[in-house]
Structure 1
């Protein structure tokens, strides 16, 4: 992922693609973690959401691989993620650069050791995505039904899998299909994007303890207050 590297021209566009990838990933993470009532008439979907909605705060490591077909490149990034129902999502990127991406109800904060930038979601092109983020954080079933089709879902005690396709024009412009797999938590998200691009994010070493944010995590979320 080229999200935080100094780029220009064609690679500036790749940088924006990286931002969208992170936002879409966040949306999907939040959707799975906060919408236990979605498609309640589907017992498989209900079981998946009920299992994932139990924990209000989850930490994990992530490994993202983004394939850009137009330049025949693969961009890798690794780090940690903190998901909090009450605060938002914190992506702590550690490779290939060190940076933090904080998403809350109203702001997107990108912080490096030397710089910090802020996006007001109500005044940016990311507004629609962020609005969707807020709806999913609230467990808004109507929002999920408006933007996604759940095309398949399988659940067992050992493994679950769910596949979605975009319904709204906004998300159709971004990706073709999203697949998530896991056990107790989300373990892998595969995003098939437009133009034959693909992003795979693997989550590992999940932990729901401690159940409160650390001082450093809270300080990063406070940047968006």
Structure 2
């Protein structure tokens, strides 16, 4: 998948990035979680290194195949705001077609990452296309974030060490599913300016992606948490293929 982050924002997914662009909201949103994790909660993780055996075991857990879909709830905590901004929606990741990030609340928007371009459709139906090579920082993140998306949703963990410093921590050894955290620090300085650290969390499946704007011991800082649910696999439906077709139409001169 040649998906790209075309601006210094997250497209996801996460990348996220993940992969998907985090849209700045002017409305204050209510908190869905009683207490969000803080950056300091991840200091123990980033003091641990990840070994090969742990990465192999994690790859086997996360392998959901070539096509994955699910729901997300995104909580974005900005240091200038007292309450996090909340958005909800659904996503589709296909290793051939790319990534669709469809926000439903608090307003509708659609992001499609495919073939080195980002297509955005806002709540008014307006479509904008961004190219990967529009800037050096966009090109750098465009090279790295597709690997992160594949790792999150198809278990391709082993290749991440080329572009990220990896950290691994078992957070609940008593849990039958084995709760874990995988920390990623980008090696590329351009990407690191946009996203200083990332954390994948899960058990037998991926549960969340956390993005930190600085090191875990730095406060205050911007922090985004994306919780995933209802993950499933299977071939693309006609309705899903129609969404990807929008990317082809938007890219025509």
Q: TM-score, normalised by structure 2?
A: 0.67
Paired residue secondary structure (1:65):
strand
Residue 183 of structure 1 is matched in structure 2 by: 203
Q: Deviations over 1:89-116 (max 9, x none)?
A: 1111001110111111221011134211
Q: Which segments of 5 or more consecutive residues in structure 2 lack a partner in the other structure?
A: 1-5, 20-48, 215-219, 249-253
- Judging changes above 3 Å, is the alpha-carbon distance between structure 1 residues 106 and 177 closer, same or farther for their aligned structure 2 residues? closer
| Count of residues paired in the alignment | 198
Quick one: which of 137, 151, 157 aligns to 2:167? Answer: 151
Cα RMSD (Å) of the superposition?
Answer: 3.0
Do structure 1's residue 42 and structure 2's residue 31 form an aligned pair? no
The structure with the largest strand share of the pair is 1
Q: Distance in 1 between matches of 2:103 and 2:92?
A: 11
Q: Distance in 2 between matches of 1:176 and 1:24?
A: 17
Q: Distance in 1 between matches of 2:204 and 2:65?
A: 10
Structure 1 residue 63: Cα displacement: 0.2
Q: Which moved more, 1:95-104 or 1:160-169?
A: 160-169
Structure 1 residue 148: Cα displacement: 0.8
- Judging changes above 3 Å, is the alpha-carbon distance between structure 1 residues 116 and 28 closer, same or farther for their aligned structure 2 residues? closer
Quick one: which of 188, 196, 200 aligns to 2:225? Answer: 200
Q: Distance in 1 between matches of 2:231 and 2:13?
A: 20
Structure 1 residue 47: Cα displacement: 0.9
Q: Which segments of 5 or more consecutive residues in structure 1 lack a partner in the other structure?
A: 1-15, 31-38
Within 5 Å, give how 1:87-166 maps onto structure 2: 87-112=97-122, 113-124=124-135, 126-134=138-146, 137=150, 144-154=160-170, 158-159=177-178, 160-166=180-186
| Structure with more relative contact order (C-alpha pairs < 8 Å, separation 6 or more) | 2
The structure with the largest helix share of the pair is 1
Is the contact between residue 44 and residue 154 of structure 1 (CA under 8 Å) also seen in structure 2?
Answer: no
Is the contact between residue 61 and residue 203 of structure 1 (CA under 8 Å) also seen in structure 2?
Answer: yes
